[in-house]
Amino acid sequence: MSTAGTNTAGTNTAGTNAAGADMPGTGPVGAGPEGADTPGRDPAGTDVAGAAGEPLHLEPRLEQRPAALLEEGGTLLHALVDALGSPLNVVLPDQIAENAERFRAVFRRHRLTGRIFYAHKANRSSALVRRLVTTDAGLDAASLGELQHALASGWTGDRIMTTGPKDPEFLWLAARAGAVVNADGPAEVEQAARLVRAYGLPRLRVVLRLSGFDTSGTTVLSRRSRFGTPARSLKDLLDTVDRHRDAVEPTGVGYHLDTTSLDEKAAALEGCLHAMEELRARDFSPRAVDVGGGFGISYLAHAGQWDRYTTALTQAVMGRRPPMTWDGHGYGLRMENGTLKGALGLYPAHRHLAGAGYLDELLSRPAPTLGGRPLGTLLLEGLHELYAEPGRALTDQCGLTLGRVLDVRAADRGEHLVRLAMNAGDAGLEDHGVLVDPVVLPRDATPTTATGRPAAVHLMGNLCLESDLITRRTVHLPRLPRPGDLLAFPNTAGYCMDFGATHAQRQPVARKVAVHREGESWHWCLDEQYWPITRPGGPRT
Amino acid sequence: MRYDSITDAIGNTPLVRIDPEVHGLRTIDLYAKLEMLNPFGSLKDRAAWNMARDGLAAARERGETVVELSSGNTAKALALIAGLHGLPFKSVTNRMRIPEIKDLLLLLGAEIEELPGQSECLDPTDTDDPLTLFHQRLNRPGSAHFHTDQYFNARNTEAHATGTGPEIVADLDGRAPDWFIACVGTAGSSTGVARALRVHDPAVRVVGLVGEKADFIPGIRNADEVQQVGLFDPATYDTIETVGADDAIDGMVTLLRRCGLLAGPTGGAAYQGAVRHLRAVEDALGEEPAERRTAVFIVCDRVESYLGYVRQRRPELLGHAPAKNSVATLTDTEARTATVIDVADARKWIAEEDPLVIDLRGPFAYAALHIDGSLNIVDELFDEMLRGGLPFGRRRPVLLACPVGERSARYAALLTRMGHPDARSLAGGIVAWRDAGAPLVRD
C-alpha cells in the first residue's frame, strides 16, 4: 500500500452528487456546534409496522467537520471502503487541535497556566497524536508502546505525562526521556528512584496520585479505586519522597476519578489543594495540581430524544410497551414484583455539561473548607498550574467508523436483520453503553423520492457468535439499508474505535485513514502516513 | 393548645381556599392543604412519625441508628424524631441536591452519606442501583440499623389514608373533592389520600404530577424514577402529568406573592399542575356545570430552604441593584484607568514609601506564600468594606495585589474613583512577582 498515502479523492463533483442525494431522510446533519438547529426527524407520526413501536431516534450531535464529511463525502467514503475493506475507521486530525483549544480557552478564562495532556489510550491513531504535537498540548502515555509512539511522533519528554500501571521498561524510558511520572504510590516512587540512581538519570519529576479524599460535612462516597495513594496516607508517601529527594522531585499532586459526579471531583480537587500545602510545609516546591480526565462527551443532538428513549425503555422493562431491544434486554434495568430494579447501564448520551464546559464548571465550584472560594480561583491564588488529562473529551467529533451492509432480511414482528462486515469490537459504542444512531450512506446516489419508509432494524456483526450484535437496541433508520450501503457510526474516536477491536475468527481489523478538508474537496491518507507538516494526499499546485 | 410531645402536633393542617382571582378558574374552587404547617415543616412529618413510632423503643434498646434514603424532608423529620428519642440518625442518598437542606440536616445532628456518581468509563456489568447498594450497606454484618424504608413501607401510605385524606373530607363538610392533585415522590401521600377519598366517593379524579427529566423539582420523581418506588402503582392515578422546574417556580411565586402562602417549589409545582389541568377541564366543558366543583392540592413544605435553587434558575427574582461603591459598577473603561506598577518598580516603591500592601487572595493562599508585610483582605470582604467608604486614610499610598493583576486593577480604579490619590495595582500580580524571583514568605 505504499502509494495509498498519496491518493487523492473527494472532488467537487463527487461531493456535490453525494450531498443532494445520498442522505435520504436524515436532513442536513448537525448544523451548529451543538447541532441545535438541526431539523430533526420527527420521532412521532412516522409509521413503522411491527412490535417495535414508534421510531425512537437518537440522532448524533455532529459538529461541522464530521457533518460535512457525511453530507458531502459519501462517494469518497464508499471508495475508501472498497479499497481498504470494511470496517474502516476515519479520523479528523484537525478537530483534535480545535478541541484542545477549547480546553485552553477554559484555562484562559480562569487565568490559569498549565497543560492539557491528551490521554492517548482513547485512540491508537498516529494522525491524532501527530496533529496535536503541533499545538501547545501535552500527552498522557499509559504504556510503553504509547510512550514510544509519542516520542516517535515528535513529542519531547517535557510535554509527556506517564500514567497507569508501569513496568520497569516504561518507567525507565519515561525517566530517560524526562517525562513526568504520575506516581501511584510509595513503591513506584522507590522503584523510580532506584532506576534514576542506577542509570545516572536526571532528577525525575513526579506527580503524586491521590485517592480517597475526606469530605467535610457529609460523607461523599466514591467507588473503590485500584489506583492512587489514600489522601490520609500522604504523610507516609512524603516520607518516601523525602528519602529520595536527590532522585525525584514532586512537582504536584493529582487525582483521576472514574465518575461523572462533579461533587466527587470538587472534593478531590479541594483535597489536592490541602495536599499542596502539605508539600510546601515539607519544603518541597510543587507547581501543579492534576485533575485527571473524565470530562465526557455529549453524543446526542437532542436532549428530548434521550429523555423519550430512556422513558420508553423503562416502560418496556415494566412490560407497558413492546420490547425495544434484542430479546428484551433491559440495559441493566429489570422488573421485580412490579417495581423497577437495577440501574441504567448506559452512558448519559446527552449531557448538558461535557468536555471543556465540564472543566469550566469544576473550576467554578466553591471549596467549602477553603472559605467557599471557587476552586479555579484557589488554584490561581495558590500560584498552582493546572494539569488535565482529557481522553474521550479531546477526541469528540474526531472520527467515525464505517461498516458495509452485507445482508438485509425480514424478521418476525416487522423488524429487519441487517448484517454488517464488522463486529461489536470494531465500534465499541455498545461496550461503552453509548447509544447513538448510525448514518446510512447509500451505495447508489438515487433520487431522494425513491428512498422508502423508515425501518426498524437489528444490527448483526460478522462473528459466528450469538452475542455479536453491534447494538442490542432496535435501531430506527430513516429507510431500510440495502446490501452495499455503508453505515457510519459517528463519534467513535474516543475509546470506541480500536480499544476493543480484535482479530477474533481472523476477521480483519479496521484500517484507519486521516481525512482533511481543503476548500470544497476532501483529501486523505493512511493514518500511519499522516504527518502534520504535509498535506494529506501530498502537495498540490 | 397543650401537648405532651411535639409529635402530637403532627397533622390537622388547615385547608385554605385560593382566591379565584388568582387562579382564574370559573367553576372550580381550589383548596391548598397546608402540609408545610406540620411541626417539622413538611408533609413528610406524618409518614416519618407513622413509620418510626412503634419501632423507636426497641431500636433504642438495641442501640440502633435510624436510617433512611432521603434527600430532604423525610430525613429532616426523622432526624428530629430520632433526636427526640435519643437515637442517632443517618441519611444515605444519591439525590441530595439542595445544599441548604444538607446543612440543616447536619445542624440537626444527622449523618449524611452520599452515594458515588455514575462511572465515566462505563462498566455495563455494574448495574446495581442506589437502592440495592443502600440495602447492601444496611445488611453488612454488625450493622445496627432501624430502616424506615419510606419507598416501600406501607405505613407511609397509611399515615395519609388515616390522616391527610380524612381531614380533607372533614374540612369539605363530609364530601370528597372532585379532583385531588399531588406530586409523586414516594407516592405515599398521593396513594394514601386517594384511597381515603375514594372510600367516600369513587368518582374522585386523582392527578399525579411527576417531574420533567431535564431538570429536577425537590421531592418529586421523574417519570422513570417513580417506577423504582415500591409504593407507586400507576392505577392510583387517573392521569399522570409532568411539571418542570420553571412551572414549580412560577407556581411558587404565585403562592408567595398573591396567596400569602410561604410555599416551596414542590407546592408551587402542585399549584401550577393543578391549575393547568383544571383549566383544560374547564376549556373542554360545553356549558357551565350546575354546581361548583372542588379541587385540592398539597403544599408540601416552605420556601426558605430553596433560595439557592431559585437563584440558580431565576436570579432575576432575587435581583438587587448593585451597590454604589462596588467593582460591579465599574465600566471596563474605568477599570483600565487604574494606575499599575510593575514588579521592579513596586519593590522600589515599597522600600522607599512603605505603601500599605493589600493581598486580595484567599487566606489559604496568603498563608502559603505572600509579600512580606502585606495585609490579607480577601476580595469579597474588601468589596464589602468599600461599600461603607474608604477603610484607610488618603495619605497612605496603597498597593493592591491579586493573582494576575486583574482584580487588583479594578479595585485600584474603584479606590481612585472614591477619592484615594495614590492607589496602585501590582502588574501581573503575585504570579509575576514570583516569576520575577521577588521574595515571598510564609510566616
pLDDT confidence of residue B123: 64
Band (A445; pLDDT cuts 50, 70, 90)? low
* Percent of chain A's residues with pLDDT above 70: 88
Q: CB distance from B307 to chain A under 8 Å?
A: no
Which CATH code is given to the segment(s) B44-147? Answer: 3.40.50.1100
- Please state which of the four CATH numbers 1.10.3720.10, 2.40.37.10, 3.40.50.300, 3.20.20.70 is assigned to the domain occupying A4-92+397-529: 2.40.37.10
d(Cα A94, Cα B299) in Å, to the nearest integer?
55
Pull the grid cell for residue A490. 459517528
Quick check: A382 and B378 CB within 8 A?
Answer: no
Q: Residue range B179-189: average pLDDT?
A: 94
CATH architecture label of A108-296+350-395: Alpha-Beta Barrel (3.20)
What are the two backbone dihedrals, phi and then psi, of residue A399, each rounded to the nearest 5 degrees? 180, 170
Which residues make beta-bridge pairs with B147? B67
The answer to whether A311 contacts B431, with C-beta atoms less than 8 Å apart, is: no
Mind listing the pLDDT tens digit for each residue in A286-329? 999 999 999 999 999 999 999 999 999 999 999 999 999 998 89
CA distance A3 to A530: 13
A263/B114 Cβ within 8 A: yes
What sign does the dihedral A201-A205-A211-A216 (CA atoms) show?
A: positive
Angle at A176 between CA A171 and CA A182, to 5 degrees: 40
Q: How many CB atoms lie within 10 A of CB A246?
A: 10
A227: nearest Cα among A208, A242, A200: A208
A502 CB contacts (<8 Å, ≥6 apart)? A425, A509
Calculate helix-pair angle for A74-84, A12-21, nearest 10 degrees.
110
Reply yes or no on whether the pLDDT at B210 is more than 90: yes
Mean pLDDT, residues A509-532 taken together: 93
Res B98: pLDDT? 83
Looking at residue A44, its pLDDT comes to: 37
Which of A284, A307, A381, A395 is the best substitution to test chain B (most B C-beta atoms within 10 A)? A381
| pLDDT band at residue B99 under the 50/70/90 scheme | confident
DSSP string, A247-278: TEEEEEEE-----S-HHHHHHHHHHHHHHHHH
B362 to chain A, any CB pair closer than 8 A? The answer is yes
- Mean pLDDT along residues A400-415: 92
Q: DSSP readout, A7-48?
A: -----HHHHHHHHHHSSTTT-S---STT-TT-----SSS---
Active-site annotation holder among A272, A398, A464, A525: A464
| Dihedral angle sign, alpha carbons of residues B335, B337, B339, B344 | positive
B106, exposed or middle or buried, with CB in 10 Å at 0-12, 13-18, 19+?
Answer: middle
Cβ–Cβ of A381/B125 closer than 8 Å?
no
What is the average per-residue pLDDT within A13-26?
33
Q: pLDDT category, B307, cuts 50, 70, 90? A: very high
Residue that the C-alpha cell 532522585 belongs to: A247
Pairwise CB contact (< 8 Å): A338 & B102: no
- To the nearest whole Å, the CA of B57 is away from the closest chain A CA by 27
Q: What is the pLDDT of chain A when averaged over all its residues?
A: 87
Contacts of B106 in chain A (CB under 8 A): 217-218
All three cell numbers of A396, joined, read: 469528540
CA distance A109 to chain B (A): 12
Q: Which of A460-474, B8-22, B40-54, B215-229 is the least confident region?
A: B215-229
- Asked if the domains B6-43+154-318 and B327-435 are classified in one and the same CATH topology, the answer is no
Q: Is the pLDDT of residue B40 over 90?
A: yes
Contacts with B118 from chain A: Cβ below 8 Å: 259-261, 348
**B114 interfaces chain A, CB cutoff of 8 Å:** yes
pLDDT at A214 over 90: no
Contact criterion met (CB < 8 Å) for A294 and B120: yes
Q: What is the mean pLDDT of residues A117-137?
A: 97
CB contact under 8 A, B106 and A217: yes
Q: What is the DSSP letter of B303?
A: S
- A397: cell is 467529533
Q: Which residues in chain B are contacts of A164 at CB distance < 8 A? A: none
**pLDDT at position A412:** 77
Judged against a pLDDT cut of 90, whether residue B313 lies above it is answered with: no
Would you say A4 and A526 are in contact if contact means Cβ atoms under 8 Å apart? yes
- pLDDT tens, A267-288? 999 999 999 999 999 999 999 9
User: How large a percentage of chain B has pLDDT more than 90?
Assistant: 72
A21 has a pLDDT exceeding 60: no
Residues 6+ apart with CB under 8 A from A488: A70, A77, A400, A401, A402, A438, A439, A440, A441
C-alpha cell at A461: 456483526
* Catalytic annotation present for A398: no
B109 to chain A, closest Cα gap in Å: 11
CA dist B191 and B187 (Å) reads 6
DSSP A377-419: HHHHHTT-EEEE--STGGGTTSEEEEEEEEEEEE-GGG-EEEE
Write out the three cell numbers for A170.
516504561
CATH topology for B6-43+154-318 is Rossmann fold (3.40.50)
pLDDT at B90 exceeding the cut of 70: yes
ipTM computed for the complex = 0.73
- In terms of Cα–Cα distance, which of B280, B331, B116 is closest to A294? B116
Q: Is the pLDDT of residue B106 over 60?
A: yes
At residue A540 the predicted structure's pLDDT band, cuts being 50, 70 and 90, is low
Q: pLDDT for A136-178, tens place per residue? A: 999 999 999 999 999 999 999 999 999 999 999 999 999 999 9
Angle between helices B44-52 and B73-84 (to 10 degrees): 40
The pLDDT-based confidence of A519 (bands split at 50, 70, 90) is confident
The DSSP bridge partners found for residue A511 are A88
Q: Do A261 and B116 touch (CB under 8 A)?
A: yes
Q: How far is B317 from chain A (nearest CA, A)?
A: 22
Q: Say which range, A336-345, B276-285, B356-365, has the weakest mean pLDDT.
A: A336-345
Q: What pLDDT was estimated at residue A132?
A: 97
Specify the pLDDT at position B268.
98
Res A33: pLDDT: 36
Which CATH number is B327-435 given?
3.40.250.10
Q: How far does the CA of residue A277 sit from the closest CA of chain B (Å)?
A: 7
With 50 as the cut, is the pLDDT of residue B252 above it? yes
Contacts 24+ apart (CB under 8 A), B334-337: B334/B413, B334/B417, B335/B409, B335/B410, B335/B413, B336/B409, B336/B413, B337/B413, B337/B416
Query: pLDDT per residue over B316-341, tens digit each?
Result: 888 765 667 888 788 888 888 999 99
Q: Mean pLDDT across the stretch A9-23?
A: 34
pLDDT value of residue A178:
97
Instruction: Give me the residue from B103, B120, B129 closest to A341, CB to CB.
Output: B129
In Å, how far are A46, A413, A470 from A417, measured between CA atoms? 20, 11, 11
pLDDT category of residue B128 using cuts at 50, 70 and 90: low
Contact B376, B359 (CB under 8 A): yes
Nearest CA in chain B to A343: B129
Inter-residue contact A141 to A161 (CB < 8 Å): yes
pLDDT at A102: 97
Q: Which has the higher per-residue pLDDT, B350 or A221?
A: B350
Q: How far is B200 from chain A (nearest CA, A)?
A: 28
Give pTM, 2 decimals: 0.82
Residue of chain B minimizing CA distance to A122: B121
Find where cell 423539582 sits: B217
Instruction: Write out chain A residues lying below 8 Å of B405, CB-based.
Output: none
pLDDT at B126 over 90: no
Report yes or no: B308 at the A interface, CB cutoff 8 Å.
Answer: no
Q: What is the DSSP string of B245-289?
A: HHHHHHHHHHHHHHH---B-HHHHHHHHHHHHHHHHHHHH-SS--
The confidence score (pLDDT) of residue A25 equals 34
- B288/A contact by beta carbon, under 8 A: no
Share of chain A above pLDDT 90, in %: 71
A376: left (phi over 0), alpha (psi -120 to 50) or beta: alpha
Residue B233 reports pLDDT greater than 80: yes
Q: Does B90 touch chain A if contact means CB atoms closer than 8 Å?
A: no
Number of A–B residue contacts, CB under 8 Å:
143
Query: Is the CB of B369 less than 8 angstroms away from the CB of A383?
Result: yes
Domain positions in chain A are 4-92+397-529, 108-296+350-395, 305-342
- The residue ranges of every structural domain in chain B are 6-43+154-318, 44-147, 327-435
Task: State residue B330's pLDDT score.
Answer: 84
pLDDT tens digits, B398-425: 999 999 999 999 999 999 999 999 999 9
